[in-house]
Structure 1
Amino acid sequence: MSFSWDEPEGLAARGTLIVLAGRGEHGGVYERFGRRLAFDAYRVRALGDPAADPAVLDEAAKLLADESLPGPKVLVGSDTGARYAVELAAEPASGADALILAGLPTGPWTAGSWEAEIEARTGCPTHQGRLAGDPAFRRGALDGTPDLSDLPWDRVRVPVLALHGRDDSVSPLAAARAAYAGSPAHLVEFTGGRHDVLNDALHRTAAATVVLFLERLRLSPELPLIAEGLA
């Protein structure tokens, strides 16, 4: 099942984001993110967890090839969805114009309890409540070792924005930095941020960082600076 959020009536769409959810999630988990980006006139299509349903990747490929959706087209991946997004973008003529990766997983992790999992995922009380009351969300999905095959950075030819929480216990920052070494990614670290960066307590800052990246991308794949001097 996919979820959609479109630009407000009367505004021209500025691009399309295709979200690949992480372990245990579904596209509806990204409603807040989708609505915020749609308010800025970006269309958002949020898909499920490719690790649980490989058909999600076929759906993403169809959206990338859909000429009715405005460009630039950007793949957004959270948790293992980030790894799948890299692999999809590395395919010849994938149709992706850029990548946004959040909470890239780097190794095994075990929660031990639902309370520990939700605390590791997000520090946002609103999102914690959303997950706790969501019957479609799969608890315990973060436990274990995800597929950690080498990422094909050498075949990624598009701009990459990486978002990662400094307090991410599921995917520690030091390991994430190592995973991005030698990649084209620009890594943005969020102070106090946990694993679900797009749905964490700093979700507004994360969304603003994404919008700035998208606005630069619209000008050129070289991402020219459009604002300087912000402390």
Structure 2
Amino acid sequence: MPFISHELGNAYYRHWAALEPRAAVIFLHGFGEHTGVYHRLGFALNAAGIDLWAVDQFGHGLSPGVRGDFGRIEDSSALADSLTSLAEQANPGIPLIAQGHSYGSIVTLFRLLDQPQRYRAGIISGAPVVPVPELLDTDTSLDLDPHWLSDDPFYIDAMVNDPLAFVEADSVPLARELDRAWNRFGAELPKLAVPTLAIHGELDPIAPVSALRAYAEEIEPLRLLEFPGAHHDILNETVHREVAAAIVEFVGQNS
């Protein structure tokens, strides 16, 4: 696999390439995941003429680091910067869409706030934009029930049996970076200027959708799309085909 050089080590990435891409999505995954579990999204985007670039963040997948420790938000953002440059080099002038899931959505929102001219649009899913109670207590272990994440049998199997995926780790580094984000979002997220689609499961037990509903009412460029009965890992839920179709439609409207 190709890799991105960074001071924390070599971060491995995947590129699902469309034959004649009309847009490129730059994707950051969430806690416990890696790029390999997003092949269905990659194929769906490719079928619609959209490239998908995704990186195994630090502490995840094939990239180095302590299990579950992404490093700082700036480290993840630097990986997305490098992916963006690769996409630009592969197809100069192509419209770029920044996308992230869960923790990846937090980094993506930082990037949309800091670089509003770089991306045509943004996509976030399972975004924990307000404090998560489980990360605020004194217990530093995070152990997720796979059924909080999805009802999709393939994905649950991956979370349980894939040696590159996991549902438990020390939560201190994650909580530290999320706390930084929560401190910023209250004041700055309403300034979001880039057209952004928020995709969320109605039954998400990790990042309740109510916070996104409130922000979507306040922020004109932010559009919320809820999926009834779906849980946190909405991109790999039983409705993953419908979710991919919504992403394709949104990219088409903004490219």
Closer, same or farther: CA 175–158 of 1 in aligned 2, 3 Å: closer
Deviation at 1:169, TM superposition (A): 0.8
- How do residues 166-177 of structure 1 correspond to structure 2 at under 5 angstroms? 166-177=202-213
Deviation at 1:141, TM superposition (A): 4.7
1:128 corresponds in structure 2 to 156
Letter of the 1:33 partner, please give it. L
**Do the aligned partners of 2:97 and 2:121 also contact (CA within 8 Å) in 1?**
yes
Q: Which has a greater percent of helix?
A: 2
Structure 1 residue aligned with 2:80, among 60, 72, 89? Answer: 60
Runs of 4+ in 1 over 6 A off after TM superposition: none
Letter of the 1:124 partner, please give it. D
Length-normalised TM-score, structure 1:
0.82
**Do the aligned partners of 1:76 and 1:101 also contact (CA within 8 Å) in 2?**
yes
Give me the whole-angstrom Cα distance separating, in 2, the residues matched to 1:143 and 1:6. 34
**Do the aligned partners of 2:198 and 2:223 also contact (CA within 8 Å) in 1?**
yes
Structure 2 residue aligned with 1:7, among 18, 29, 39? Answer: 18
Q: Which has a greater percent of strand?
A: 2
The percentage of counterpart residues that share the same residue type is 26
Give me the whole-angstrom Cα distance separating, in 2, the residues matched to 1:141 and 1:179. 30
Q: For residue 218 of structure 2, give the secondary structure of its aligned residue in structure 1.
A: coil
1:189 aligns with 2:213: no
**Do the aligned partners of 1:110 and 1:143 also contact (CA within 8 Å) in 2?**
no
Deviation at 1:23, TM superposition (A): 1.4
**Do the aligned partners of 1:161 and 1:185 also contact (CA within 8 Å) in 2?**
yes
**Do the aligned partners of 1:91 and 1:155 also contact (CA within 8 Å) in 2?**
no
CA RMSD of aligned residues (A): 2.5
Give me the whole-angstrom Cα distance separating, in 2, the residues matched to 1:102 and 1:141. 21
Deviation at 1:94, TM superposition (A): 5.5
**Do the aligned partners of 2:125 and 2:200 also contact (CA within 8 Å) in 1?**
yes
Letter of the 1:13 partner, please give it. P
Give me the whole-angstrom Cα distance separating, in 2, the residues matched to 1:16 and 1:84. 18
Larger mean CA deviation between 172-181 and 136-145 belongs to: 136-145
Give me the whole-angstrom Cα distance separating, in 2, the residues matched to 1:171 and 1:142. 19
Length-normalised TM-score, structure 2:
0.75
**Do the aligned partners of 2:200 and 2:225 also contact (CA within 8 Å) in 1?**
yes
Deviation at 1:194, TM superposition (A): 0.4
Closer, same or farther: CA 94–81 of 1 in aligned 2, 3 Å: farther
1:118 aligns with 2:130: no
Deviation at 1:155, TM superposition (A): 4.5
Closer, same or farther: CA 178–49 of 1 in aligned 2, 3 Å: farther
Q: For residue 52 of structure 1, give the secondary structure of its aligned residue in structure 2.
A: coil
Give me the whole-angstrom Cα distance separating, in 1, the residues matched to 2:113 and 2:38. 24
Letter of the 1:102 partner, please give it. S
Instruction: After superposition, give the CA deviation of every residue in 1:65-89 in whole Å (9 maximum; x if it has no partner).
Output: 4432442111111001111101112
1:34 corresponds in structure 2 to 42
2:110 corresponds in structure 1 to 87
Give me the whole-angstrom Cα distance separating, in 1, the residues matched to 2:35 and 2:170. 17
Letter of the 1:171 partner, please give it. A
1:108 corresponds in structure 2 to 132
Deviation at 1:96, TM superposition (A): 1.5
Gaps of 5+ in 1: 219-231
Closer, same or farther: CA 188–133 of 1 in aligned 2, 3 Å: same
Give me the whole-angstrom Cα distance separating, in 2, the residues matched to 1:109 and 1:39. 39
